[in-house]
């Protein structure tokens, strides 16, 4: 379980200036999601309200909108378990770009339907993240298409960082609550890298914690060891949080997370399911399990958080209706 993959990247980290540029680029496409009060001194930032149902539209649109005319004509290809696939499909449709997405055959049908609705072509492979990446690279090389990874890309990280930029701006508009604790989901790490970069730059003294399922705690293990380690798909595939089955943090996001994360919390499957129910009943939000892990951490581990205000990034709400009914009916 702890065999290390290739070394982390030596690329330079993204800057706050790049994140601000991304914010201008995605304006009018990604929405400025609100900070919803939740309990005492806590807020939920519901990225589930984005046009494609998750934060991924931020990074996807930023990456595609910055392409040259020549690269747009060539088209784009990506690999994703679902949310990034939907975001690339939507961004490509808005920009008039051909898109091919490589998805696992067990991807939630609601996410597959979203990709098809925006006109992207789908190539299905097995459940392994490595297989998706390899196939996407093959297609990019064969057809000369632009490869836009779901996390290991500075354009994507900058786009995701706009979520952290908004958190800082919104807290300032409310009179400021710094320092705060920001909880952000961790899959391959693009969102955590971008949000952490923005929050650390704009809210000095704040704490940024990643959250991942205990069954897919590869980032926690990687940060503890000081290098990227890989968990097998047979292990991470057991979590209901399908968007966080990353196996290993991506190289460039991992380099950021080593700098900007103050730690990683893990949550159980029962805690994740409970958070989905609480989100629906108390916050009137539909969250997919991957989007509910941060709320699960707030609910189950508040005593482990620094004292003071907390912001929960609820990353997405793309859950199959039948699965949602099951989650709401249990517990």
Residues 183 and 141 in one domain: no
What residues contact 40, with CB distance under 8 A and at least 6 apart? none
Q: Pick from 96, 113, 147: which residue ends a domain?
A: 147
Q: What is the pLDDT of residues 222-272, one digit of tens each?
A: 999 999 999 998 989 899 999 899 889 999 999 999 999 999 999 999 999
Residue 108 in tokens: 């939630």
Residues 195 and 325 in one domain: yes
- pTM summary value: 0.93
Residues 25 and 70 in one domain: no
pLDDT at 4 over 70: no
Q: Pick from 101, 131, 147: which residue ends a domain?
A: 147
| Rounded Cα gap, residues 299 and 265, in angstroms | 12
Residue 7 domain-assigned (yes or no): no
- Tell me the backbone φ, ψ of residue 183, rounded to 5 degrees: -105, 125
Residue 70 domain-assigned (yes or no): yes
Residues 172 and 304 in one domain: yes
Residues 252 and 114 in one domain: no
Total domains, the chain: 2
Domain that holds residue 217: 16-54+153-329
Residue 135 domain-assigned (yes or no): yes
The predicted model gives 139-160 an average pLDDT of 96
pLDDT at 139 over 50: yes
CATH number at residue 278: 3.40.50.1100
Q: What is the pLDDT of residues 47-77, one digit of tens each?
A: 999 999 999 999 999 999 999 999 999 999 9
Residue 226 in tokens: 């000081």
Residue 17 in tokens: 């200036």
Q: Which residue has the tokens 């907390």?
A: 310
Residue 2 domain-assigned (yes or no): no
- Catalytic (active-site) positions: 56, 81
Q: Which residue has the tokens 């705060």?
A: 180
What residues contact 20, with CB distance under 8 A and at least 6 apart? 165
Residue 1 domain-assigned (yes or no): no
Residues 242 and 204 in one domain: yes
Residues facing 185 on adjacent strands: 211
């Amino acid at each position: 379980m702890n065999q290390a993959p290739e070394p982390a990247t030596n690329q330079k980290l993204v800057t706050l200036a790049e994140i601000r540029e991304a914010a201008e680029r995605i304006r009018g496409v990604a929405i400025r999601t609100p900070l919803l009060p939740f309990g005492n001194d806590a807020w939920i930032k519901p990225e589930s309200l984005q046009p494609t149902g998750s934060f991924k539209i931020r990074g996807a649109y930023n990456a595609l909108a910055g392409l040259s005319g020549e690269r747009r004509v060539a088209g784009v290809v990506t690999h994703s378990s679902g949310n990034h696939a939907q975001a690339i499909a939507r961004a490509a449709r808005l920009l008039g770009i051909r898109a091919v997405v490589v998805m696992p055959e067990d991807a939630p049908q609601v996410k597959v339907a979203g990709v098809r609705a925006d006109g992207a072509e789908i190539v299905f492979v097995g459940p392994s993240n490595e297989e998706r990446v390899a196939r996407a690279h093959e297609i990019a090389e064969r057809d000369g298409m632009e490869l836009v990874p779901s996390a290991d890309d500075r354009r994507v990280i900058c786009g995701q960082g706009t979520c952290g930029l908004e958190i800082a701006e919104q807290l300032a508009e409310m009179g400021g609550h710094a320092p705060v604790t920001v909880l952000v989901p961790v899959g391959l790490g693009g969102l955590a890298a971008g949000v952490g970069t923005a929050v650390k730059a704009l809210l000095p003294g704040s704490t940024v914690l990643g959250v991942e399922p205990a069954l897919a705690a590869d980032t926690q293990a990687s940060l503890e060891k000081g290098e990227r380690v890989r968990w097998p798909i047979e292990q991470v595939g057991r979590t209901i949080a399908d968007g966080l089955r990353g196996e290993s943090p991506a190289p460039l996001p991992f380099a950021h997370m080593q700098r900007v994360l103050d730690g990683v919390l893990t949550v159980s499957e029962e805690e994740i399911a409970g958070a989905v129910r609480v989100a629906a009943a108390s916050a009137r939000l539909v969250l997919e399990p991957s989007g509910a892990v941060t709320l699960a951490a707030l609910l189950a581990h508040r005593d482990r958080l620094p004292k003071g205000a907390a912001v929960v990034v609820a990353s997405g709400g793309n859950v199959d209706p039948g699965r949602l009914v099951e989650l709401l009916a249990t517990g």
